[in-house]
C-alpha cells in the first residue's frame, strides 16, 4: 500500500455504511462517473460510493478545516485516498467545469444550498445530475431548479432518526428521460414520457407550468408515488403548520401576511391527505420506474 493512501500496517480498513438519509442520496448518484460532495462534513458519502464501486473517484469538499480534517480521517481509515480528492473550498469553487457528472449537496438548509448553486454556475457546466437534500425550504429549491434550467426528474423520501428528509434529483432541462436509481449509461434515464404523462401533475419530466401549488409544496414525484411514508410525511407537515398557525394567531401582534400564508399551506396539506385517503398508492419505499 502506498504511504498515505490507507490505514497503517496491521490496522483494519474502515468499511463505511450510511444512515437512511444518505442511502437515499447515494441511490441517485450516477454510476460509473465522478461525483462531487459539496459540504462533505465527515466524508462518509464519497467514501461509501468509491468503496461500493459505484463511482471511480470522488471530490469531497468543505469550506471549514475542521470538517475536512474529519473527512480526511475517514478517507485514510477506509484506504481510499487515491480515489477521494479532498478540497478546502467554499461551495462550487471546489470544482472545474466538466470535472464530475453528479454534484451532491446535502445536510444543509435550502437557502444556503441555493446560495451555493447560484454562486458559481459555470462550475455546473457538464454536470449531468444534481442530487440535493435540503433540510429546509424544499419548495424554494424546487422552484429555483425550474427557474435556472434544471428539470426535476425524481424525488425520494427518507425517514431517519424521527425526521423526514427529501431528496431532489434534477438534470439539465434538455436531457431526455426519467431518472432511475442504480442504472448505468443510457439506462440511467427511462423513456421519454408521453405527452399525457409529461403534462400531468407530478410527472417526472413534465413541464413546471403543469405543476399545481401542491406539487411545488409537496413534490410532484412524491405525490405521484404516494404510499404510507408519504402520508406520514404530509401528516407531520400538517401538524407542524397547525402549530405554527396557532402560534401566529395567539401572538400579541399577529402577522396577517404570515397567517394567510400558513392558512393556505394548511389547506393544501389537508386537501392532500383527503386525496391520499382515496388512493392506496404503492408500497412504502417503492420507487416508480
Residue 48 pLDDT exceeds 90:
yes
Contact of 179 with 128, CB cutoff 8 Å: no
Mean pLDDT computed over 87-110: 97
* Confidence at residue 274, expressed as pLDDT on a 0 to 100 scale: 96
Note the pTM of the prediction, 2 decimals. Answer: 0.84
Sheet with 35-38: strands ordered across = 84-88, 58-62, 35-38, 102-108, 129-134, 163-172, 150-160
Mean pLDDT computed over 59-85: 97
Mean pLDDT computed over 212-237: 97
How far is 125 from 148, CA to CA, in rounded Å?
Answer: 13
At 12-38, the pLDDT tens digits run 799 999 999 999 999 999 999 999 999
Residue 83 pLDDT exceeds 70:
yes
* Nearest Cα residue to 35 out of 62, 63, 51, 54: 54
* Confidence at residue 278, expressed as pLDDT on a 0 to 100 scale: 86
Question: Per-residue confidence at 7, pLDDT binned at 50, 70, 90?
Answer: low
Q: Kindly report the number of other CB atoms within 10 A of residue 121's CB atom.
A: 12
At 167-213, the pLDDT tens digits run 999 999 977 655 666 543 333 333 233 333 333 333 354 455 689 99
The percent of residues in the chain predicted with pLDDT above 90, rounded, is 78
Q: For 7-74, give the DSSP string.
A: PPTTPPPPPP---HHHHHHHTTSPTTS-EEEET-TT-HHHHHHHHTTS-S-EEEEESSHHHHHHHHHH
Residue 248 pLDDT exceeds 60:
yes
Q: Which three cell numbers stand for residue 87?
A: 478540497
Higher pLDDT, 1 or 46: 46
Buried residues in 271-285 as b, exposed as e (16+ CB within 10 A): ebeeebeeeebeeee
* Confidence at residue 12, expressed as pLDDT on a 0 to 100 scale: 76
Residue 224 pLDDT exceeds 90:
yes
* Confidence at residue 176, expressed as pLDDT on a 0 to 100 scale: 64
* Confidence at residue 19, expressed as pLDDT on a 0 to 100 scale: 97
Residue 229 pLDDT exceeds 60:
yes
Does the 20-192 domain belong in CATH 3.40.50.150?
A: yes
Mean per-residue pLDDT of the chain: 86
- What CATH number labels 213-289? 1.10.287
* Confidence at residue 1, expressed as pLDDT on a 0 to 100 scale: 40
Domain boundaries, the chain: 20-192, 213-289
Amino acid at each position: 500500500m502506498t504511504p498515505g493512501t490507507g490505514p497503517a500496517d496491521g490496522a483494519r480498513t474502515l468499511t463505511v455504511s450510511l444512515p437512511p438519509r444518505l442511502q437515499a442520496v447515494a441511490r441517485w448518484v450516477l454510476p460509473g462517473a465522478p461525483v462531487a460532495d459539496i459540504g462533505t462534513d465527515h466524508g462518509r458519502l464519497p467514501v461509501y460510493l468509491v468503496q461500493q464501486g459505484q463511482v471511480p473517484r470522488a471530490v469531497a469538499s468543505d469550506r471549514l478545516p475542521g470538517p475536512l480534517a474529519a473527512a480526511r480521517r475517514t478517507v485514510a481509515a477506509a484506504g481510499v485516498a487515491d480515489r477521494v480528492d479532498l478540497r478546502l473550498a467554499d461551495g462550487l469553487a471546489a470544482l472545474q467545469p466538466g470535472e464530475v457528472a453528479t454534484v451532491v449537496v446535502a445536510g444543509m438548509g435550502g437557502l444556503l444550498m441555493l446560495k451555493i448553486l447560484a454562486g458559481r454556475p459555470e462550475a455546473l457546466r457538464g454536470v449531468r445530475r444534481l442530487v440535493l437534500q435540503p433540510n429546509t425550504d424544499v419548495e424554494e429549491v424546487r422552484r429555483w431548479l425550474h427557474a435556472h434550467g434544471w428539470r426535476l426528474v425524481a424525488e425520494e423520501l427518507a425517514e431517519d432518526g424521527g425526521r423526514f428528509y427529501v431528496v431532489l434529483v434534477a438534470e439539465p432541462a434538455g436531457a431526455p428521460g426519467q431518472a432511475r436509481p442504480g442504472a448505468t449509461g443510457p439506462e440511467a434515464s427511462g423513456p421519454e414520457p408521453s405527452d399525457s404523462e409529461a403534462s400531468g401533475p407530478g410527472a417526472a419530466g413534465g413541464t413546471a407550468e403543469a405543476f399545481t401549488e401542491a406539487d411545488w409544496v409537496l413534490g410532484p414525484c412524491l405525490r405521484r408515488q404516494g404510499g404510507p411514508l408519504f402520508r406520514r410525511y404530509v401528516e407531520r407537515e400538517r401538524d407542524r403548520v397547525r402549530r405554527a398557525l396557532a402560534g401566529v394567531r395567539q401572538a400579541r401582534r399577529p402577522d396577517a401576511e404570515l397567517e394567510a400564508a400558513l392558512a393556505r399551506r394548511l389547506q393544501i396539506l389537508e386537501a392532500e391527505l383527503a386525496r391520499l385517503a382515496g388512493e392506496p398508492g404503492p408500497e412504502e419505499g417503492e420507487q416508480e420506474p
